[in-house]
Amino acid sequence: GENVEQHPSTLSVQEGDSAVIKCTYSDSASNYFPWYKQELGKRPQLIIDIRSNVGEKKDQRIAVTLNKTAKHFSLHITETQPEDSAVYFCAGHMNTGFQKLVFGTGTRLLVSP
């Protein structure tokens, strides 16, 4: 089945620095890779996703890169701001007729002013 590993578990950066969070997955059939952001006490919300026919996707200060050969994908946040502080989750999705979305264990990002 699908297994998603996420690193690091915590990440502290100074405002203005870049942050990178990495995930690896086990199922080579996976073809959809979303990233969710969860602020303290709130529900997770989608911030960006990528499909397997694309190597990179950008949306303002956030980007996701996908390496299907190595089976890993990464979230990049540039020019970090204090409001970026949250827990970020990657997820992997199997396209075998199942509807299962399996999440990584999360990365707590702290951006210090």
Partner 1 sequence: NAGVTQTPKFQVLKTGQSMTLQCAQDMNHNSMYWYRQDPGMGLRLIYYSASEGTTDKGEVPNGYNVSRLNKREFSLRLESAAPSQTSVYFCATRLAGEGELFFGEGSRLTVL
Residue from 8, 9, 29, 79 in contact with partner 1 (CB under 8 A): 9
Cβ atoms of 54 and 66 within 8 Å: the answer is yes
Q: What region, left, alpha or beta, does residue 96 occupy, with left being phi > 0 and alpha being psi -120 to 50 degrees?
A: alpha
What mask, x for binding partner 1 by CB under 8 A, covers residues 37 to 66? Answer: ------xxxx--x-x---------------
Binding status of residue 106 toward partner 1 by CB under 8 A:
yes
Cβ neighbours for 51, distance < 8 A, ≥ 6 positions apart = 31, 32, 33
What does the binding site for partner 1 look like in residue numbers (CB under 8 A)?
6, 9, 32, 34, 36, 43-46, 49, 51, 89, 93, 95, 98-106
